[in-house]
Amino acid sequence: MTRRVIVAANWKMNGNLELVNSMNAGLESLVLSNNVDVVLCPSDPYLVPLSIVTKTENIHLGAQNVSEHLSGAFTGEVSTTMLQEMSVQYVIVGHSERRSFYKESSTEVARKVKAVLAANLTPILCIGESEAERSALKTETVLSAQLQPVIDEVGIEKFIDVVIAYEPVWAIGTGKTASPEMAQETHQFIRQFLTNENADVANKVPLLYGGSVNAANCEKLFAQTDIDGGLIGGASLKVDEFKVICSTAKGS
């Protein structure tokens, strides 16, 4: 099955104009395998200055969050229309930091996914279990409970336009990566969960792995059958390392 392969950079609230400029310059020489897309998700003020996306076909802009509302009295929020106007194509939704620090529930995440799809943008829907949940053998229950409200809100057919990022919370920013086998096993579970709803759609949804991915461990992770790229935090702030990760991803 040919699926799109995506390497997405989540800068979180990091970076500055200097990083933007070095990414713009550094990514000009990036060589990507066929069918691989790179998505840069900086903080909103740096979306437009990341002009590399206007020069390179397979490099795109992504936001880290969006409002579920289209406009109005929501101080501090950004709408899908505003992102669209700035040529953004992807939006990270439901990152574990949003779920934990800003108490975003899975039903709120589901409404955001709906808003993103309605604007013809691609949501990168993040799901993942905590360390305690994995130890208590609750990983599958937690992932199901994060996915089901989104399926209920938008319908499984719409998942054809959704990218899912599996990010075990215990692996984010900790240097602890899931082993390729553990990540594959969980990705297989996610694909099966979607298959139970619609096998054709499930086969086409890119499943990214995120959690301390770096230049040294990405090759084995990306080689797994159900891993279609990665969501990269810390390592996406280093131009050379990020380039290695991007060119390690193999499309078809």
Kindly list the residues in this chain that would bind ligand PEP in the complex (CB under 6 A): 10, 12, 167, 172-173, 210-213, 231-235
Q: In whole angstroms, give the CA distance from residue 120 to residue 132.
A: 36
- List beta partners, residue 164: 125, 207
Q: Give 64 or 201: the residue with its C-beta nearer to ligand PEP.
A: 64
Which member of 60, 68, 95, 129 is catalytic? 95
Q: Give 64 or 67: the residue with its C-beta nearer to ligand PEP.
A: 64
Tell me if 91 sits within 8 A of 61, measured CB to CB: no
Q: How far is the CB of 165 from ligand PEP (least distance, A)?
A: 7
Q: Is 157 an active-site residue?
A: no
DSSP state of 102: S
- The Cα angle at residue 232 between residues 97 and 25, in degrees rounded to 5: 125
Which member of 68, 104, 133, 167 is catalytic? 167
Q: Give 96 or 156: the residue with its C-beta nearer to ligand PEP.
A: 96
Q: Is 187 an active-site residue?
A: no
Label residue 13 exposed, middle or buried (CB < 10 Å: 0-12, 13-18, 19+): exposed
Q: What amino acid positions are annotated as catalytic residues?
A: 95, 167
